[in-house]
Structure 1
């Protein structure tokens, strides 16, 4: 007995393409225009201006002199290798993919945290998505969107969603039940508790998920060079295909620099969120102390 799984898959793909071609064409049009807008800004402006902006972001987010200097020197090094345009194209693709992945992953994680049936339904799907070989994501992307940047972004989005969902759900579920019971005792509604209690307290875990989504997106963007996504992935793939060791190595170095920068900046943003939360709590405490009415003796 043999199962024609490949034939079934082909039938499903053909049915989707035949009945929802308008949807995939619309998605491709929208994503390509958004990426073009990001690339217009990142590539169109002078490299020194972009490097200055990225360095300031690193300084503000991390407040570390070493990383700030590294950011400036590293991006100047990329520019000196002649890979500035490809690096900015990669950054544009990563930003678009991450924003869409988080827009899907965080609300889904919140929903899963608030509903046990949803969590039970989503968990095996996330397990499948995380255990699936990276190259498998390229197959349906190519079938639906052809070759180029759009299928690369589509595959990147699907590949990067799971950590955003899991860490958002984990951050909300692991909150102290006594805090939630206290909020309910004061008559707060579910939406208010989620906005003012659960989400802020889970923000540390959510930011860790954001970091993981960015790293997965960057790794997938490079693999997407195999289907014509271009950018640094295209540089690496072309270098390997032509046995051009210098080109492949330079492309790999540029990817590593971008990965280190994004990882440290998002890690710094994670720490900054904690600092802002602490300052906000101190400000509220000080305000409450000033407005407190002393009880008569």
Structure 2
């Protein structure tokens, strides 16, 4: 039985090569190289700062945050885990990895949250964004590296750009979901009290969707952590380079040490961001109750304004 390939074959790989090498790279590589300047600036400053701060001070700061948002058990784990990383000689690489992750998450938040808000406020925008996000999430992570190298070169900044592309979809999707799931009666209450579009967004929708947005930020952070390890293949540093070097030399101990460092850092960052999401849940419940109170007040014949809603939040 004939298949489509028996009738005709499509040189799809040749088309992609012609597009990238023949048109995109010659015409737009200077623009792409210029676009990595802010990424390089943030990354270099964060990396220099984290390497400058003493290990004990950084560990104490993370332990304090973990104790505040998660609990004493996580604080102890942070102290022990970071001490272990320092004792096996991987503290500088861990701070470089942390700088790469923070840079990626910062740019993902700056880009992804506005895109999620626009998608939630416009069905047409969401119809455009959804297939783009599907493609970004389903393309294997290694596939990003080839065009990134051709357009941006090699090094840490191109690795961060690949990480941003790879880790962006969750925060866009969950920001859109969180804002769309804000209860309609609360939206109507805000409208009834004279809230403008911006007041509705900043004082009602974002606070009530904050837990979902934080969940998206958590997922983005975890994807960024996995991707910065892979970007060691194109010259990025940090713990990913330790693992990649150990793999190339069949150094089981070195690769395992780098992997353990990644696991410890991942657990600490994951638990802290989850704790922040739980804190956001408390604020969401408080604001929701305030708005419901205002709605009941309106139903009983009271009057108010958008300022009252802001004060209630």
SS in 2 for 1:20: helix
Which residue in the other structure is 2:190 paired with? 183
SS in 1 for 2:236: coil
Which residue in the other structure is 1:67 paired with? 74
Bigger drift between 139-148 and 210-219 goes to 139-148
- Find 1:95's aligned residue among 99, 102, 119: 102
Q: Residues of 2 paired with 1:27 and 1:82: CA distance?
A: 34
Q: Residues of 1 paired with 2:235 and 2:57: CA distance?
A: 29
Q: CA deviation at 1:112?
A: 0.5
Per the alignment, do residues 280 and 190 of structure 1 end up closer, same or farther by CA in structure 2, a change over 3 Å counting? closer
- Find 1:34's aligned residue among 42, 65, 70: 42
| Residue segments in structure 2 that go unaligned for 5+ positions in a row | 1-7, 293-313
Which residue in the other structure is 1:146 paired with? 153
Which residue in the other structure is 2:27 paired with? 19
Which residue in the other structure is 2:304 paired with? none
TM-score, normalised to structure 1, is: 0.91
Which residue in the other structure is 2:303 paired with? none
Q: CA deviation at 1:32?
A: 2.0
Q: Residues of 1 paired with 2:287 and 2:178: CA distance?
A: 20
Are the equivalent residues in 1 in contact too, given 2:141–2:227 (CA < 8 A)? yes
| Residue segments in structure 1 that go unaligned for 5+ positions in a row | 286-297
Q: Residues of 2 paired with 1:164 and 1:81: CA distance?
A: 34
Give the paired residue count. 286
- TM superposition outliers: structure 1 runs of 4+ over 4 Å: 276-285
Q: Residues of 1 paired with 2:124 and 2:263: CA distance?
A: 40
Q: Residues of 1 paired with 2:188 and 2:36: CA distance?
A: 46
Are the equivalent residues in 1 in contact too, given 2:29–2:152 (CA < 8 A)? no
Which residue in the other structure is 2:5 paired with? none
Listed one character per residue, the Cα deviations across residues 181-224 of structure 1 (whole Å, up to 9, x for unaligned) are 22222332222211111111111100100100000000001111
Bigger drift between 181-190 and 148-157 goes to 181-190
